Structure 1
Amino acid sequence: GIGAALCRRFAAHGAAVVVNDLDAEAARSVADEIGGLAAPGDAATEDGVAELVGAANERHGRIDMFCANAGIGESGGPEAAESAWERSWEINVMAHVRAARAVLPQWLERGQGRFLSTVSAAGLLTMLGSAPYSVSKHAALGFAEWLAITYADRGVTVQALCPQGVRTNLLDDTGETGKLLLGDSAIEPEQVADEVLAALGDDRFLILPHPEVAGYYALRAAEPGKWQGGMRKLQRGLP
């Protein structure tokens, strides 16, 4: 999905890429394709992050950019299982916290580093039918913003990638609701990667592959009642 597209784009522009995925075969396939290093494992856990960062440092001596891209989408509301809420928090939020914990010391010492947090437009807005996803993505955005404010003056650039629908397995897993809400405007992972590359040139905090999200976000802040009314209308049209 987005991760593989980013790997290909970065490698094509001369970056030395370390590829991580829970699926070891998938990580090795992309790494072999781009001449990178496969470091499979669970990037949501403290040990998994330590192994990934250690592998990158051992091979290349430093990390210039970390892409916190892992994510899951659990459906449901308050009735969703405790395990669904826990997985969402661990993967969509704590994976970012643990990654930052691992890379910040070297970046602060060097006075340079870049953290790309794959959030979602759901972190700026919401995702109907999926409270665990919406809540955890808001938290991921909040953490990215906190990092940006806290460390910008020490040389660390933080960016939050917030697309709407992207044609990946994650979108497929949302079923009929996701297709109705996001299918028509969904874009390819390669388009997201292109937008990220463009954003690296100006260090913008919010990377919005779907530009219309900026208008939705502004409306949500300025007129929450009007925005929620529009979302309720969408909710009424869902199966």
Structure 2
Amino acid sequence: MEVKDCVAIVTGGANGIGKAICRSFAAAGARHVIVADVDEHAARQLASEIHGSSIRCDVSRESDIQQAVELADKTCGGVDIFVSNAGITMKGGVEVPDEDWQRLWDVNVMAHVYASRAVLPQMLKREKGYLVQVSSAAGLLTEIGSAPYSVTKHAVVAFAEWLSVHYQKQGIRVSCVCPAGVATDFLDLEDPVHQFLHVTSVTPEHVAECLLQAMQYEQFLVLPHAAVGEFFAYKTQDYDRWLKNFARINEKLQKKIKKLREEGQQPKEN
């Protein structure tokens, strides 16, 4: 699918990967790009830059996503591409409070459901449309420092697979983006886990370019880091060994965190 002449909505579009995607779509000749973000000021600035539109959108609220789709319907006659990009994270494992688990579930997972629910009827009627689900390498592998993030990003991959299986024969294309470290504010360089990711981090622009290429060939899995694909293949070949290797990495990182704490350098919390 070509982005040229298409109408796109990008959630979390005002910063980081979302911002790069908005710019890349505009540069590729999209007819109109709607920047949807809780940061209304930044969304408005970017929309002005790329000659698009902006709307304040808390993706954990289905009504906000519906309003973004309604804006596209009124101003452009519908949505061709919906990029579910907005996401959040936090550190921790089983001890993370229920309300925080629920917050990540609402933003990282249910937002994708809400978006699909809002645009699929019109896309199915036209027998054409593109759903982009931005997950993470954590969705294919795992995120050592955050159980809620890892679990919700796995869910995004599962939902993207389900969408593809159910709707590809009806003209709906799905891509699932799974980057590892990306040089955005999301990457906390005071966190040993994120320091590990920073070593091979890529720019948001690189992620956006990989997405454009994948959409051109209607490719499902988008891997801005080639190593993620290699690790994923290894995981499926020898699951137990893969888990043991990740356990060793976790052990090393935990020792580093412990050392920082002993030196009085409390690792920064997300």
TM-score between both structures, scaled by the size of structure 2: 0.86
Give the drift of 1:66. 0.1
**Paired residue for 2:65?**
49
Q: Is the 8 A contact 1:171 1:178 kept in 2?
A: no
Give the drift of 1:233. 1.1
Question: Take 1:97 and 1:58, find their aligned partners in 2: how far apart are those partners?
Answer: 22
Q: Is the 8 A contact 1:43 1:52 kept in 2?
A: no
- Structure 2 gaps of 5+ residues are 1-15, 258-270
Count residues in correspondence.
Answer: 238
Q: Determine if the alignment matches structure 1 residue 195 to structure 2 residue 210.
A: yes
**Paired residue for 1:216?**
231
Q: Is the 8 A contact 2:69 2:78 kept in 1?
A: no
SS for the counterpart of 2:191 is: helix
Tell me whether 159-168 or 213-222 shows the greater mean CA deviation: 213-222
Q: Which amino acid aligns with 2:252?
A: G
- Specify which of 4, 12, 21 is matched with residue 27 of structure 2: 12
Q: Is the 8 A contact 1:65 1:113 kept in 2?
A: yes
Give the drift of 1:43. 2.1
Matches within 5 A, 1:219-230: 219-230=234-245
**Paired residue for 1:59?**
75
Q: Which amino acid aligns with 2:169?
A: D
Q: Determine if the alignment matches structure 1 residue 36 to structure 2 residue 52.
A: yes
Give the drift of 1:177. 2.7
Give the drift of 1:106. 0.2
Q: Percent identity?
A: 43
**Paired residue for 1:178?**
193
Q: Is the 8 A contact 2:35 2:47 kept in 1?
A: yes
Give the drift of 1:226. 1.1
Q: Determine if the alignment matches structure 1 residue 150 to structure 2 residue 186.
A: no
Question: Take 1:20 and 1:222, find their aligned partners in 2: how far apart are those partners?
Answer: 40
Q: Which amino acid aligns with 1:57?
A: D
**Paired residue for 1:99?**
115
Q: Which runs of 4+ in 1 moved over 2 A?
A: 177-181
Matches within 5 A, 1:84-123: 84-123=100-139
Flag the 1:233–1:201 CA change in 2: closer, same or farther, 3 A: same
Q: Determine if the alignment matches structure 1 residue 234 to structure 2 residue 249.
A: yes
